[in-house]
Amino acid sequence: MTHHSDDLGHQATRVGALADPARRAVYEYVIGQPDAVSRDQAAAGLGIPRHTAKFHLDRLVEVGLLEPEYRRLTGRQGPGAGRPAKLYRRADRQVTVNLPERRYELAAQILAGAVTLSTQEDVAVRAAVERCAARAGREMATATSTPKPLVAVLADNGYEPRETSERVVLANCPFHRLVERDRDLVCSMNLHLISAAAAALGEDADVRLDPGPGRCCVTMGLPDQQLPTRSEE
pLDDT value of residue 158: 84
Stretch 36-60: mean pLDDT: 92
Do 123 and 213 belong to one domain?
Answer: yes
Task: Specify the range with the lowest mean pLDDT, choosing from 49-58, 92-101, 108-117, 132-141.
Answer: 92-101
Q: Is residue 146 part of a domain?
A: yes
Instruction: Specify the CATH number for the domain of residue 65.
Output: 1.10.10.10
Boundaries of domain holding 147? 104-220
pLDDT value of residue 177: 81
pLDDT value of residue 77: 59
Residue bearing the bigger pLDDT, 144 or 225:
144
> Which tens digits make up the pLDDT trace of 163-172?
777 788 888 8
Do 57 and 152 belong to one domain?
Answer: no
Do 144 and 213 belong to one domain?
Answer: yes
Do 158 and 71 belong to one domain?
Answer: no
Cα separation, 118 vs 115, whole angstroms: 5
Residue of 125, 133, 145 lying closest to 198 (CA atoms): 133
> Which tens digits make up the pLDDT trace of 122-175?
889 899 999 999 999 999 999 888 888 998 899 888 888 887 777 888 888 888
Cα separation, 225 vs 55, whole angstroms: 36
Residue bearing the bigger pLDDT, 177 or 188:
188
Domain boundary among 68, 90, 112: 90
- Mean pLDDT for the chain? 81
pLDDT value of residue 72: 77
Do 80 and 109 belong to one domain?
Answer: no
Q: Is residue 183 part of a domain?
A: yes
Q: Tell whether the model's pLDDT for residue 197 goes beyond 90.
A: yes
Q: Is residue 9 part of a domain?
A: yes
pLDDT value of residue 75: 59
Do 83 and 109 belong to one domain?
Answer: no
Do 146 and 190 belong to one domain?
Answer: yes
Q: Is residue 132 part of a domain?
A: yes
Do 116 and 206 belong to one domain?
Answer: yes
Q: Please report which confidence band the pLDDT of residue 228 belongs to, taking 50, 70 and 90 as the band edges.
A: very low
The C-alpha R_g of the chain, in whole angstroms, comes to 20
Helix or strand holding residue 12 (H, E): helix 2-17
Domain boundary among 57, 90, 123: 90
Do 77 and 125 belong to one domain?
Answer: no
Instruction: Please give the distance of CA 54 from its chain centroid, rounded to a whole number.
Output: 24
Cα separation, 184 vs 189, whole angstroms: 9
Number of independent structural domains in the chain? 2
Q: Number of H helices and number of E strands within the chain?
A: 9, 7
Total number of residues shown for the chain: 233
pLDDT value of residue 145: 82
